[in-house]
């Protein structure tokens, strides 16, 4: 039972490069989320999705785009990477029903030089 | 807007001693509250959650938390810590319908022999 899988686990980019982070869940969850984690700041919500084909902005959406073309996948894109986007990125998903908790992937460590 | 405060950045406890991690929240209605644990290099694992009902909730690994509405608190406790409890702990509050989580900045727990 894989749960939430994030690809890649590590990546180093140069400023201005683009990349896409992939999140896949095998729990048939409706809701999916992208967070970034920075030292001393906890997790901050970037974008989220309440179902296939939907996306919404979170707390820190600038510089990121997302897509949810398939229910099981949630992609996070950086069009032009900046050093300020160096962070650890976490994906999470949760099932239908307001009493369901979020389940997290193991994270993607991204460094922008 | 909802918010969470974890006033202790770092706590050191002797193995076998009791533990209490503090969490205060700000939210205009009845909150949904969570505690997650993160081991180094890992994602977040749910310890316990509170939605309604009994204000003392039991979680995994021997942890419990008590919801106190009058103090806007949801403190995490464990009667006797083990070396394997060393990790970072995050408190989180959810908005109505549990659509989005807001995390505290975390408390890092160190266990000494």
pLDDT of residue B31: 85
Mean pLDDT of A17-45: 94
Average pLDDT score, chain B: 93
pLDDT of residue B53: 85
Average pLDDT score, chain A: 94
Answer whether residue A27 shows pLDDT above 90.
Answer: yes
Residues of B in contact with A33 (CB under 8 A): 100-101
Distance to chain A for B112, nearest Cα, Å:
23
Q: Which residues pair with B91 in a beta bridge?
A: B35
Answer whether residue B10 shows pLDDT above 80.
Answer: yes
| Cβ distance of A44 and B103 shorter than 8 Å | yes
* Structure-block tokens of residue A2: 């894989």
Helix (H), strand (E), coil (C) string for A19-39: EEEEEEECCCCCEEEEEEECC
Which of the four pLDDT bands, split at 50, 70 and 90, describes residue A30?
A: very high
B50 touches chain A (CB under 8 A): no
Contact indicator for B43, B33 with CB cutoff of 8 Å: no
Q: Which residues pair with B108 in a beta bridge?
A: B10, B88
Contact indicator for B109, B13 with CB cutoff of 8 Å: yes
Mean pLDDT of B70-75: 94
**How far apart, in Å, are the Cα atoms of A105 and each of A35, A42, A90, A91, A93?**
11, 16, 6, 6, 9
A17-21, A97-101, A102-106: which has the minimum mean pLDDT? A97-101
Which of the four pLDDT bands, split at 50, 70 and 90, describes residue B30?
A: confident
In the DSSP assignment, the letter for residue B53 is: S
Mean pLDDT of B44-50: 94
pLDDT of residue B51: 87
Answer whether residue A1 shows pLDDT above 70.
Answer: no
Cβ-in-10-Å burial (0-12, 13-18, 19+) of B60 comes to exposed
Of A41, A98, A102, the CB nearest to B97: A98
């Amino acid at each position: 039972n894989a749960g939430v899988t994030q690809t890649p686990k590590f990546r180093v980019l140069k400023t201005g490069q683009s990349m896409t982070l992939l999140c896949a869940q095998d729990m048939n969850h409706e809701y999916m989320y992208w967070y970034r984690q920075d030292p001393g700041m906890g997790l901050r919500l970037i974008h989220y999705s309440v179902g296939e084909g939907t996306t919404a902005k979170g707390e820190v959406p600038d510089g990121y785009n997302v897509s949810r073309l398939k229910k099981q996948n949630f992609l996070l894109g950086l069009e032009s990477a900046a050093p300020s986007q160096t962070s650890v990125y976490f994906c999470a998903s949760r099932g239908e029903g307001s009493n369901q908790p979020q389940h997290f992937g193991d994270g993607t460590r991204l460094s922008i030089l | 807007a909802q918010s969470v405060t974890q006033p202790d950045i770092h706590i050191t406890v002797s193995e076998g001693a009791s533990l209490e991690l503090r969490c205060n929240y700000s939210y205009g209605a009845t909150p949904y509250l969570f505690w997650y644990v993160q081991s180094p290099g890992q994602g977040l694992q749910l310890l316990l959650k509170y939605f309604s009902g009994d204000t003392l909730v039991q979680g995994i690994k021997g942890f419990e938390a008590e919801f106190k509405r009058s103090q806007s608190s949801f403190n995490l406790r464990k009667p006797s810590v083990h070396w394997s409890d060393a990790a970072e702990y995050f408190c989180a509050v959810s908005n109505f319908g549990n659509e989005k989580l807001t995390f505290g900045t975390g408390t890092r727990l160190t266990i000494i022999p």
